[in-house]
Each structure stands twice: as structure tokens, then as C-alpha cells.
Chains A and B, each alone.
Chain A
Amino acid sequence: MMTSDLAKVVAVASLAKAGTAIANDEAKFTFQTPQTLVAHQIYDLHTVILGICILIAIVVFAFMFYAIVRHRRSVGHQAKQFDTNTPVQILWTLIPCLIVVGMAFPATRTVIAMKDTSAPDMTIKVTGYQWKWRYDYLGEDVSFYSGLLTPRDQIENQAPKGENYLLEVDNPLVVPVGKKVRILVTANDVIHSWWVPAFGVKQDAIPGFVRDSWFKVDTPGVYRGQCAELCGKEHGFMPIVVEALPENQYKTWLAEQQTKNKVASAAAGAAAGRTYTLDELKTEGEKVYGRSCVACHQANGQGLPGAFPALAHGAITTGPIAGHVDIVLNGSKKNPAMAAWKDQLSDLELAAVITYERNAFGNTQGDILQPSDIAAARK
């Protein structure tokens, strides 16, 4: 590796830095600062049980090291030939039993509290996708996707990494403080896990099933987490960001979203009626491709042999257009990795990306798909 010398220098420098960071930042050694009742309970539970465990370890190791130092042949210690002691054995079976029961008590309380999703102030449906999240504010007519914002060149070491590297999203989940928020968690493709450490919430998102959890944040702020269940190659790149706002600001935000949705659907309606040129569609399609398709099919359309098919000179991208529309809208039955995009993308986006795929990477189909064609295909 040509950078190995540099790496060594960095290693030494960073070890030195780690030393000072350790002194300054206590939070590095334990859980993130808890922000909800459940997270507080978990934090305290961990502290108490860790304390008990350390105590037990100290006692056990004290005996062991005493024997190692004092009962060794090199200091002339003679072995005493005993191999049983019933009272001691009963004692060291009973005491751990009591300790374990003592630990189980407070933990039970927290388990019950965590599962108590009754009487929420609001409910948000959280859906995991490869590889982003979708949030639906039930009854509010607000829903959006939330994906990684960190630019690819930071990940590829082409640009300096920002402060919230890999922990920043385009559309954070916004919630009001002081309200009990119930989340319904599910997934669209594979299992994901919605995790915000500061809330003490980690709920697997299981396709086809809905599980729930809840949190009530007390302090306004931005809280960050990551997907916690391996969900494919971009598993490390689907963070969760929750912005907790005071209630009035939340209301404003919600109203803004609702207006934005109305404007967007009006625009989509207008878009559906319009006829686009090939260049317009290709320009728009390239953007959609960069957001939704590039992770698997790659920037050059070559895919990854064996896992993700190539679009360049592909059977579908150069075949009949109806087959192409079908697989993008409804996903592939043969290869479950190909998702159904009809709910994730608008008519215009779908028309644009399909047109782009048929006229990029060396494909020269020359055919144009209009949003109205997609609308027809949806029926």
C-alpha cells in the first residue's frame, strides 16, 4: 500500500490525539446522553449492572491473583490436597442466584415501560428501504423519504469529511418535544433497524409486519442514529436524523410540509399533462438515476456482475419498452434486489429515468416515455 507510511504517521498522531480526547470527552466511554425516559432508565440500569459486574470481577480476580502471587511453587508453597467444600459451594451458587434476581427486578420495569405504546399524541409510520427511510405522518397527509446527504466524494476520500459525516440526511424526521410519539416500523424489502441511541429506541423494520415503539423527547435538538441491521451493501449509509422542535415551531413546519405537498402534487399534475423532449427527460432522469439507481447499477450502468445486472446494452434496457416500464414500476420477481419504484417515484421521475436508461451508457434506443405513459401503465 503506497499510503502505508502516511498511515503510520496518522496512526501515531491520532493515538496521541485519542489520549487527549479521552481526557476531555467522557461520553466516549458510555452511552450517549439519554434524551427520553426510557433512555434514562437504560442508562441507569447499565450503570448499576456494570457496577455490580465490576465488583464481582474485582472479588473473583482478587482471589485469583492472591493465589497466583502467594500459592506458587516458586515461593515454596505446598499444595493442600482438598477437592470439595459443600457449604462454600452452596454459598457460591446461591449468592449469584440472588444477584441475578436483583438485576432482573429493575430491568423488568423498563421492559414494560418500553413496550407501553398506548395513548400516543401522534403516530408516525417508519418504513425501511434499501437504503433510505420513509416517514408517514399518519392523519397529517405528510410523508417523505429521508436518505444520506453526505456526498460520495467524502466517502471516497476525495473531499474532507464534514462534521456529521455519514450522520446527515436530506429530510430529517421532525417531531415536537414533550409529545409521546408512537412509531410503527416496517420495511419494504429486507430487514432494517431504526435506531436512535439517545432515545433508547431500536426497532427492527421487518417487511410484511408492523412493530411499534415510542419516544417522548424533552429537549429540542438534533439526534442522530444509524440503521442497525445489516441490509445490504449500503447498510452503513442510511442514517436516521430526528429534529425535535418546540411545539409551535413543529406546527409551522407541519403546515409548510402540507403546503409543499399540495404545490408538489399540483406541479405533478401539470407535469403529467405536459409533453417533454428527450433532452429534458434525460437531464431529469440522470438526477433520478443518481439518487435511486446508482448504488446497484453503478454510475457507468455496468452493474455488478452476478448481483446487479448491467443496464448498458442490457436485455431490458434495449428490449421492448413495456418490459422496462414493468420492472421499474413493479420490481423483479426473479431478483428480489430490484425494488418496485412505483410508490417511491412520481410519474415524471419514472418516465425520465426510464428514458435516460434507454439513452445512456451507450444505449441508443431513442424512444421517449412521457409521464402520461407512466400514469397509463399504473392502471
Chain B
Amino acid sequence: MSTPLTLAGDAEHLDHPQGIRRWLTSTNHKDIGTLYLWFSFTMFIVGGIMALIIRAELFQPGLQVVRPELFNELTTMHGLIMLFGAFMPAFVGFANWQIPLMIGAPDMAFPRLNNFSFWLLPPAALLLVSSFFVPGGATGSGWTLYPPLSVQMGPGMDMAIFAIHILGVSSIIGSINIITTILNMRAPGMTLMKMPMFVWGWLVTAYMLILVMPVLAGAVTMLLTDRHFGTHFFNAAGGGDPVLFQHIFWFFGHPEVYILILPGFGIISQVIPTFARKPLFGYRSMVFAMCAIGIVSVVVWAHHMFTVGMPVAGQLWFMYASLLVGVPTGVKVFNWIATMWEGSLSFETPMLFAVGFIFVFVVGGMTGIILAIAPVDIQMQDTYYVVAHFHYVMVAGSLFAMFAGTYYWLPKWTGHMVDETLGRWHFWLSMIFFNLTFFVMHFLGLAGMPRRIPDYPLQFADFNMIASIGAFGFGLTQLLFLYTVIKCIRGGKPASARVWDGATGLEWTLPSPPPHHTFETPPVVT
């Protein structure tokens, strides 16, 4: 007699709105994951266009394309949009799609909050992008928003502050959702130490987000009251201190770097064992390394501030702690290579990006060690060397990891295999143009070119021209990625449930594409 009741309940549960309502009101982790991923790709293109305008201006010495004030607005917005609009939402998109599938949960713990945290993003992005069109333009204070310069800015700065508030709320809600899902909704038998590495990466990341996003929100709120309500948090004339903002900002800003890389570490730790056809080497040490990175990352912030004139003791502490981060990071790289060692390797597109990731990430890690040395950093601070370093870590690190993840899971999501030829072209073009763009920036920084300048002395001309050519190549290559993804969504060779012969994990037990609702009865992990 209970049958009709159950059916009625299911009918409501299985109601799939179609068209626009499907996306606006969705509480389904797969749909929301898709929304996150498309949103972030859109912002990636917007931020990328800004980067290309910057590189067009820097193609030759002299002012050609934009005025200096617009140049500053573009560098600022490129940073803010790439970090908050493209990279962070993209990883949340991966989390939405993959975490429930990988831990055998039917959905995220708070599906409605999940919808809310996504739909906070478009208004925030709109605030950021439309700030270009208000009087005075977007904020030109650099993405770091240092006062007193940011106090001088027009209403575009207030729009950026509110955008950061909204994005922060979205991140915090998303993180609470992810932590709750991971801690409460794992399939029976899946202990914490059996979780896939991607899930581990996100667990650590989500804790870090909850720790640091409120700090950023506090910092920008203090800016807001300094700007409009007569407070003097950062104004020495009123008893404040401009450097205080830098301390608060980097207390957020440095962990943010790891927030953007740990989920990437997780993806790489899924991809490499699959294509090496052997288990991940040193699982436990990988988990400990990630936790260690997460913890140490909150005590190294002032290595971004070696030139403010800290006392010797402060400089030494932040130098030693920063060097220490190199150890767990190194352990991760060694573990990946040990996973490849004595494997039976094949190089489909996800693996190409994973190996490419290791290659460029090691370069970025090495320049990180060099920058951790305080005296050397003082020489390199605010030069193109730093620009090269963090693009090696962010673009090559986070972005290549996300490309690897996309190619790895896209057959699962769409039910079609990706066009391998196009994927390989995308990899090799990205790799070549990325290095063309950013490797020469090391030399620019060493020779003394400051960052955030719209025009430069003549001795920097050659390398800037090379970097600009590389940037346009890299930008255009990403359209190939878009085409490849759309082609895969539209059709292609049908993907099997397991997709890759070396893949292990719960997501591969589901058909490709998975049905709208999965794991309504939890699987048992042994």
C-alpha cells in the first residue's frame, strides 16, 4: 500500500524543469556544476581579452593602444576577474560535478544553498565588468587594492568592494556545502583515508576558504569605511597604517594561492594513476603534504611584503616559513613521478596536461623558492619576475590541472569521447605559447622591469614583443579548447562507463553520461 505514496514523492523529486527554469531553479549538483564551469569559462575569456589588450599595449615601447589609467584598470580587473570570476568558480564547478560522484553521495548536502551560491556570481561579475563604464572607470589600484591608492579611486572601487563581498559569501556558502557533503555523505566504507585525492584537495581548500574569505571581506569593508565614512584604519594622518591593509590582505592572499592550487593537485593525483595504470604512490604522505601546505600557508603571508621595511626578525621568520612550504610541495611532485615510475604509461590528452602541469609547476615552484629568499625577493618584488612566477603557478598550475580534469571527466559528463587530435593540438599549442609568453618575463624582471607599467625603457623591448606574441597565441588557442568541448558535447564516439581502462573510483561505476540522479542508494566501498 505504500507504493502510491512513494511514487508521489518520487514524482516531485524527479520533476525536471526544462528550458530556462532547469538552470535558474536547479538544485541538481550536475546542472549547477555545469553552470559553474560555463560561467567560469566566460569570465576566463573576459579576463583573457583584458590580458590581450595589456599585451597589445606592451608590444612596443610608447603608448599606443590604451591610456595609462585604463591600463591600470585592465591589470586590476584582469587579476580580480581571473581569480574570483574564472579560477575559483571553475574549481567549485569541478567540486559540484565530481565530489558527489566520487564519494557516492546522491547530491550536495545543501542543494538550495548550492543554487544560491552559484546565482550570487553573475551579479558580482556584472558589478566588476560594468565598473568600467561608471565615471572614473574601474578601480586601477591593482588587484591587491592597496590603500591609500585605492582610497583615491572613483565609484568603480566601491563596485569592486561589493563584488568581492558577494563573491566571498558565495565562496563561504560553497565551502560549507562541500565540507558538509564530504564529512557526512560518504558511501558506507569510504573512510577519510580512502577518499579520492581530489576530494581531499577540496576538503583542505574549503577549510582554508572559510578561514580567509571573511578576512578579505573585513579588509575591503575597512577600505569602504575609510573611503566614505571617515574612518582611518589605513590613514596615518588619522592614526592608521597603510601597511596594516597589506598584512590583512595577504593573510587572505597567500592562502588564496593554495586555494587555487590544492584542487588542482587533487585532479593531477586522479589523472596520473589512471594513465600510469598503477595506484597513486604515497597516498598518506600526499594527504599529509596537502594538510601541511594548508597549515603553513597561513603563516607566510608577509613574504609578499619584504620591501615594506620589516624588522630583521620578521623578514627571517617569513623567509624560513616560506622556504618550508617547498618541502611538502616537493614531496607531492616526487610522489607523482614515483606514480609514473614503472607504470604502463599512455599519453591521452588528460595525461599530457598532467605531465605538462608537473613540468611547468616545477618551474614555478623553483622560482618560488628563489623568491622566498628575502634579499633576492627585495630585488625582484614588483617586477616581471614575480609576474612570471605566479603565472607559472596559476596558469600552468591551476589552469593546466583544470584542462587535465576537463579532458579526463568530459567523456563521463557528456557520454562522448573527446576528439584526441584536437585535444593534443590544444595541449601543445598551450604549452608552447604559455612558455613563450611567460618564460621571457623572468629575464625582464631580472633586468629590472617593474610590473604594472604601461610603457617601458627601450632595453626591455625585445622580450616584451616576444611575450605579446606568445600571449595572443595562447589566447587564440583557448578558442580551440572551446570548440573541442562543444564538439564533444554535441557528439562523438560513445564513452563507456569506465572511459579510461586504468580509471578507478565510484564515478566510473556509473554510465556515461550519468543519469540526472545518481547514488540514490549509497554504494558500498570495501
Contact = CB atoms under 8 A, between A and B. Distances in A.
Contacts of B455: 155, 166, 236-237
Given A67-B340, A84-B282, A227-B450, A111 B135 contact: no
Contact of A190 (B148, B326, B367): B148
Contacts of A195: 450
**Tier of interface size on chain A:** 35 or more
Nearest to A3: B64
A107 B374 contact: yes
A18 B148 CA distance: 40
A111 B315 contact: yes
Contact of A337 (B152, B346, B453, B454): B152
A127 B277 CA distance: 62
Nearest to A168: B457
Nearest to B342: A80
Interface in A182-205: 185, 189-191, 193, 195, 197, 200, 202-204
Nearest to B311: A115
B312 A112 contact: yes
Interface in A54-83: 54, 56-57, 60-61, 63-64, 67-68, 71-74, 77-83
Interface string B85-98: 00000000000000
B62 interface: yes
Contact of A45 (B134, B309, B311, B373): B373
A93 B370 contact: no
Interface string A32-51: 10000011011001100110
Contacts of B513: none
A208 interface: yes
Nearest to A83: B279
Given A45-B375, A80-B278, A83-B283, A103 B149 contact: no
Contacts of A229: 146, 307, 382
Nearest to A66: B341
A110 B457 contact: no
A52 to B, nearest CB: 8
B320 interface: yes
Contact of A7 (B60, B62, B242, B316): B60
A165 to B, nearest CB: 5
Given A49-B369, A209-B241, A307-B136, A71 B456 contact: no
B450 A226 contact: yes
Given A71-B345, A100-B326, A189-B148, A207 B242 contact: yes
A93 B324 CA distance: 11
Contact of A53 (B60, B154, B242, B370): B370
B152 A161 contact: no
A108 B320 CA distance: 9
B241 to A, nearest CB: 7
A263 to B, nearest CB: 35
B363 A204 contact: no
Contact of A233 (B68, B278, B283, B337): B68
Residue in B320, B362, B450 with the greatest tally of chain A CB atoms within 10 Å: B450
Interface in B124-138: 134-137
Contacts of B378: 42, 114, 200, 202
Given A97-B327, A166-B457, A202 B379 contact: yes
Contact of A204 (B137, B282, B308, B366): B308
Residue in B243, B345, B465 with the greatest tally of chain A CB atoms within 10 Å: B345
A332 to B, nearest CB: 11
B188 to A, nearest CB: 24
A79 B278 contact: yes
Interface stretch (B7-15, B28-36, B112-120, B441-449): B441-449
B358 interface: yes
A305 B334 CA distance: 55
B134 A306 contact: yes
A3 B280 CA distance: 54
B346 A27 contact: no
B61 interface: yes
Interface residues of B, number: 107
A85 B279 CA distance: 13
Given A103-B323, A154-B62, A307-B154, A27 B330 contact: no
B247 interface: no
Contact of A18 (B277, B280, B454, B462): B462
B355 A68 contact: yes
B20 interface: no
Nearest to A30: B446
A49 B375 CA distance: 12
B278 A204 contact: no
Given A28-B459, A72-B345, A15 B465 contact: yes
Nearest to B383: A228
Contacts of B280: 83
Interface string B135-177: 1110011100011110111111000000000000000000000
B447 A32 contact: yes
A74 B242 contact: no
A98 B151 CA distance: 45
18 contacts: A31-B447, A31-B448, A41-B375, A45-B373, A46-B370, A49-B370, A53-B370, A64-B358, A73-B277, A85-B338, A92-B330, A96-B331, A100-B369, A161-B458, A166-B456, A191-B242, A228-B307, A306-B155
Q: Top 5 A-B pairs ranked by shortest CB distance?
A: A208-B236, A306-B135, A306-B136, A236-B453, A211-B309
Given A156-B63, A306-B156, A307-B154, 20 more contacts: A41-B375, A67-B341, A71-B344, A78-B344, A79-B276, A79-B277, A100-B323, A100-B369, A114-B378, A155-B62, A163-B458, A191-B148, A197-B379, A202-B379, A203-B307, A206-B308, A228-B307, A235-B452, A304-B69, A336-B151
Interface of A: 3, 7, 10-11, 14-15, 17-18, 21, 27-32, 38-39, 41-42, 45-46, 49-50, 53-54, 56-57, 60-61, 63-64, 67-68, 71-74, 77-85, 88-89, 92-93, 96-97, 100, 103-104, 107-108, 110-112, 114-115, 154-157, 161, 163-167, 185, 189-191, 193, 195, 197, 200, 202-204, 206-209, 211-213, 225-237, 304-307, 335-337
